[in-house]
Structure 1
Amino acid sequence: MAQHRRADAEITPESLDRLPIFPLPRAVLFPGVTLPLHLFEPRYRALAERCVEGDRLIGLAALQPGFEQDYLGRPPIFPVMGLGHITAERRLADGRWNIALRGVCRVEVLEERPPDDPFRVVRARRLDERERRGDQAAADRLRGILLQLMLRLPQVRDELGSLLSEARRPGRLADVAAGLLIDGFPARQRLLEETDVARRLDHLLELLTDLVLATAGVGDDDLGPH
């Protein structure tokens, strides 16, 4: 796929005033996490083409329960979503698209624009994180849990190693860890909606402590003497 560097500075008031969205069931995009996406419906082929030619920004929205009755229309979405930047794309011969969408920040939908395009467009605002002085202590506890899970979950060992070496801020550490390790949609959406870093870390620590207990004994031979 064609590669493009990520650029947070591309998020402008104009971008958020008319933000194209890609609604999917149970879709959660955390900042710092990259998702591969396949766009095959005609309306989303048009979405990909417009975004690749423009600022390369897409809101990845989760459809609310019951969307099946109006899937081809404009079924309700969760108002808080991840804003992503297309970092790589490939247009296939039949018009379908494969893209890599990297989460940049959280946004909240303020209103949906009239249906002037084949795809849905919203007006949104950026949601900033609320950080506290004590966040680093919780982040250090999270790092300890992630080190344990590196040994117990070889399928995500490389990703966790990169996370521990690259994620400096507590909020980003929590986001990428959630993107890698939390499976259930309700928990993922709740973590996405939480802009208070301390509360996000506390909830994530609870979830990952349960995961540590569930994987007890897996890879423990690598932990050394107890």
Structure 2
Amino acid sequence: MNTDHLEHIALFPIPNCVVFPGMVFPLHVFEPRYRNMVQQCLEEKMPIAICHTEKIIHEATPAETTKEALSKNQDTYKPFPIFSAGLCELVSITNDGRLLINVYVDRRLELIEEVQTLPFTIAKCRPYLDTVLQADEISAAEILKDKILHRLIAFAGNDKDVIHRLESDEWQQKSAQAFSFEVFSIIQLEPDLQQSILEDRSALSRLQRVLDVLNEKG
């Protein structure tokens, strides 16, 4: 495979964390290697991927103090090969050097080739795209979206902020594809299930799976 045209992405593995396009994901970065990674990404405008992890590759000795945590790297993980990424924005730097950033997640990617592994991973990645829905599938997806909205509003109870958000024109008018991702800014499922949904290339299928889970919850 010719990998020259692929995009370079810096990987930030976080166990049990799955993010989706459309999210703004806040990160508190304290490990030295990842502080360096963020600085490089800011300088080079290189996207950061937030990756759920398959396993630990190297287990570090736990830090006993905040000072120690800021001066040594922690466990090293193998990420799942499908993840979401986007450019980051530096929000602030604490007095002890920790970075507070926002990652503006805007696309799914597939890891093709690691080009750097130490002190952090940079990989060549390609877009991970949905299949194109047919007209009848688009109609079915819109029906599922409406059902999910009604279920979420019912689950929200007295949470007026969530209800207002779900009833807003912005959320009511989202495409089925966008909604199938951004719904995870409101609900959180078991991480491996969210990873499986992230890897699903059909908006119709993703919405059906979300609705099935909501129906199971009553």
Name the TM tier (shorter chain): 0.7 to 0.9
5+ residue gaps in structure 2? 61-72
Q: Contact 2:35/2:99 (CA < 8 Å) preserved in 1?
A: yes
User: 1:49 is aligned with what amino acid?
Assistant: Q
Deviations 1:37-82 (A, max 9, x none): 1000000100111112221510111111345637857532100001
Q: Distance in 2 between matches of 1:54 and 1:158?
A: 38
Q: Contact 1:60/1:82 (CA < 8 Å) preserved in 2?
A: yes
Which segment is superposed worse, 149-158 or 202-211? 149-158
**Residue matched to 2:199:** 193
- State the secondary structure of the residue aligned to 1:195: coil
**Residue matched to 1:7:** none
Q: Distance in 1 between matches of 2:126 and 2:49?
A: 11
Q: Please, which of 4, 12, 18 is the counterpart of residue 28 of structure 1? A: 18
**Residue matched to 1:122:** 123
Q: Distance in 1 between matches of 2:4 and 2:97?
A: 28
Q: Write out aligned runs for 1:204-223 (5 A).
A: 204-211=210-217, 213=218
TM-score between both structures, scaled by the size of structure 1: 0.76
**Residue matched to 1:145:** 148
- What's the % identity of the aligned pairs? 25
Q: Contact 1:23/1:62 (CA < 8 Å) preserved in 2?
A: yes
Q: Distance in 2 between matches of 1:173 and 1:186?
A: 20
**Residue matched to 1:157:** 163
Q: Please, which of 90, 95, 100 is the counterpart of residue 92 of structure 2? A: 90
Q: Distance in 2 between matches of 1:141 and 1:57?
A: 32
Cα deviation, residue 102, structure 1 = 2.2
- State the secondary structure of the residue aligned to 2:21: coil
Cα deviation, residue 176, structure 1 = 0.8
How large is the Cα RMSD of the aligned pairs? 2.6
Cα deviation, residue 17, structure 1 = 3.5
- State the secondary structure of the residue aligned to 2:186: helix
Q: Contact 2:112/2:123 (CA < 8 Å) preserved in 1?
A: yes
5+ residue gaps in structure 1? 1-12, 214-226
